[in-house]
Amino acid sequence: MKQNMKLLSIGTVTIAAATLLTALPAQAYVGPGAGLSLLSALWAVLAAVFVAVGFVLLWPIRKMMRNRKRAQQNGSGTTSHSTHSAHSHQPKA
């Protein structure tokens, strides 16, 4: 059974290779609209890849800047938690 499958696999590859090597050129016309569509799709894919790579590469820098900004805000003492006094939340007797 294994020998038959191996021969079938080799035969399939041989037939596929022979078909691809003996194919004749097609006589077809591709209009300018199809070419422009192909180019615009290619540009869109390339732009999406570049934007994705840019976001991945810039993420650590954005994170570092955000942490630095938070550290500066906490160091200056102007947070909303520090402006309330401790006595304002106590109930009156």
Q: Which residues lie closer than 8 Å to 79 by C-beta, 6 or more apart?
A: 73
Asked if the model's pLDDT at residue 52 lies above 60, the reply is yes
> pLDDT tens digits, residue range 23-42?
677 777 778 888 889 999 99
Under the banding of pLDDT at 50, 70 and 90, the label for residue 13 is confident
The domain segmentation of the chain, as residue ranges, is 32-74
Q: Is the pLDDT of residue 46 over 90?
A: yes
Distance CA 9, CA 14 (A): 9
Q: pTM for this structure?
A: 0.43
Which of 17 and 50 is assigned the larger pLDDT?
50
- The mean pLDDT of the chain is 80
C-alpha separations of 90 from 79, 83, 86 in Å: 21, 16, 8
